[in-house]
């Protein structure tokens, strides 16, 4: 924790965003284990919004993924050659599978030893096979199986599969037009599915509409916006290092901070009645707008740069993928072990601090072990 960890190629704002997103998802899954009562005390309305952190955390990760995969290629004065698709797939899938597969085997073995109530051991074969090939998000019987949080790995694989072709689209028609197409086309199809599902409840179309929320149809725009942000970031770097930096900072802050704060207040205070009136699709768009505003603010504010360079943030960011892979089962088993020993509020605090620290240490050890194995 005290060793220098700042790598020039690492963008400090990204490291901070990884930690924020991982913390939000951790709190959401902790809330799913222990849904505390929120009435009767001053912080109740705020605590009741904790489940929203999981939604926002996933959106931040999707934006970050699009940014990271695109920042080497988009927005540079001299464009870099785009990677061949097969080379890109081998690098990206190799990077995530080296950590994903061991944890998938680990938690599957745990379920074989201690099966979930009402789930025979033989029923794990199909979910395990679909998880191996990243197809588990395509059917409701498998996408939450084994470890529910692993559904996002299926979505991440879909991002990888379309990324080389999206990069070519962005370079040919420009980031603005490409991002607009990548948002309007899938969201238009998603809206059409919602209309059909509303008029045909219980039909296969309704099932496809439900599953689309966890797949590319609904989530591609989040990835595409991250790609647009990468292009904008590279184009803005000369301005950030120039003499006009201070006026640009004041201008961008004045444009972002006000709407961002208003949006956050609406999320926290009006989320239940207001977003439900908007409906699932427009509510999703509203939350994504707030999320994008927050990401823009983090990228531009000087305090975010300083925080992102702090050793503790760099360590947590480096362990974030391992924390994601390990945290949900650890929370579930720890909660089961604490059942009846203390009040829900005390259990919540114990899991927050104890399992949070355990997840971090386990993720660091696990990542180092895997890296040594595949060195």
pTM for the predicted model, two decimal places = 0.87
**Phi-psi sector, 291: left (phi>0), alpha (psi -120 to 50), beta:** alpha
CA–CA dist 115, 31 (Å, integer): 23
**pLDDT tens for residues 294-304?**
888 888 777 88
Residue 71 counted as domain residue:
yes
Distance of CA 310 to the CA centre of its chain: 22
Q: What is the pLDDT of residue 39?
A: 56
Residue 178 counted as domain residue:
yes
**pLDDT tens for residues 226-267?**
999 999 988 877 655 444 444 444 444 544 555 555 555 455
Residue 266 counted as domain residue:
no
Question: Minimal CA–CA distance to 32: which of 341, 324, 335?
Answer: 335
The total domain count for the chain is 1
Residue 197 counted as domain residue:
yes
Residue 235 counted as domain residue:
yes
Residue 249 counted as domain residue:
no
Counting residues of the chain whose pLDDT is more than 70, the rounded percentage is: 82
Q: What is the pLDDT of residue 41?
A: 54
CA–CA dist 299, 11 (Å, integer): 9
Q: What is the pLDDT of residue 167?
A: 94
Burial 119-141 (b: 16+ CB within 10 A, else e): eeeeebeebbebbeebebbeeee
Residue 173 counted as domain residue:
yes
- Return the H-helix or E-strand segment holding 96: helix 85-113
Q: What is the pLDDT of residue 240?
A: 53
Q: What is the pLDDT of residue 259?
A: 54
User: Which residues of the chain, if any, have pLDDT below 70?
Assistant: 1-9, 37-49, 117-118, 238-279
Domain that residue 74 falls in? 51-241
Residue 246 counted as domain residue:
no
> Based on the number of CB atoms within 10 Å of its own CB, is 242 exposed (0-12), middle (13-18) or buried (19 or more)?
exposed
């Amino acid at each position: 924790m005290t060793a220098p960890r700042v790598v020039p190629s690492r963008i400090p704002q990204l490291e901070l965003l990884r930690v924020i997103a991982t913390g939000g998802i951790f709190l959401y899954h902790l809330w799913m284990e222990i849904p505390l009562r929120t009435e009767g005390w001053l912080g109740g309305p705020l605590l009741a919004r904790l489940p929203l952190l999981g939604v926002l955390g996933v959106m931040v990760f999707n934006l970050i993924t699009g940014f990271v995969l695109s920042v080497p290629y988009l927005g540079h004065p001299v464009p870099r050659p785009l990677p061949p698709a097969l080379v890109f797939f081998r690098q990206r899938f190799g990077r995530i599978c080296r950590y994903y597969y061991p944890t998938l085997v680990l938690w599957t073995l745990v379920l074989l030893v201690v099966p979930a109530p009402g789930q025979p051991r033989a029923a794990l074969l199909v979910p395990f096979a679909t998880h191996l090939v990243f197809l588990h998000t395509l059917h409701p019987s498998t996408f939450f199986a084994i470890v529910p949080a692993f559904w996002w790995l299926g979505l991440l694989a879909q991002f990888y599969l379309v990324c080389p072709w999206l990069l070519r689209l962005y370079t040919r028609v420009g980031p603005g037009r490409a991002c607009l197409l990548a948002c309007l086309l899938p969201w238009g199809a998603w809206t059409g599915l919602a209309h059909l599902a509303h008029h045909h409840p219980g039909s296969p179309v309704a099932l496809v509409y439900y599953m689309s929320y966890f797949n590319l149809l609904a989530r591609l725009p989040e990835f595409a916006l991250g790609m647009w942000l990468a292009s904008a970031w590279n184009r803005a770097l000369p301005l950030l290092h120039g003499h006009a930096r201070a006026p640009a900072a004041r201008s961008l802050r004045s444009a972002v901070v006000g709407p961002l704060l208003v949006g956050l207040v609406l999320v926290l205070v009006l989320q239940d009645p207001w977003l439900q009136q908007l409906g699932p699709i427009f509510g999703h768009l509203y939350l994504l707008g707030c999320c994008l505003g927050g990401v823009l603010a983090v990228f531009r504010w000087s305090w975010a740069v300083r925080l992102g360079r702090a050793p503790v943030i760099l360590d947590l960011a480096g362990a974030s993928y391992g924390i994601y892979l390990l945290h949900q089962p650890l929370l579930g088993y720890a909660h089961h072990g604490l059942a009846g020993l203390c009040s829900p509020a005390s259990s919540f605090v114990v899991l927050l601090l104890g399992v949070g620290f355990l997840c971090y240490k386990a993720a660091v050890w696990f990542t180092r072990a895997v890296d040594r194995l595949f060195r």
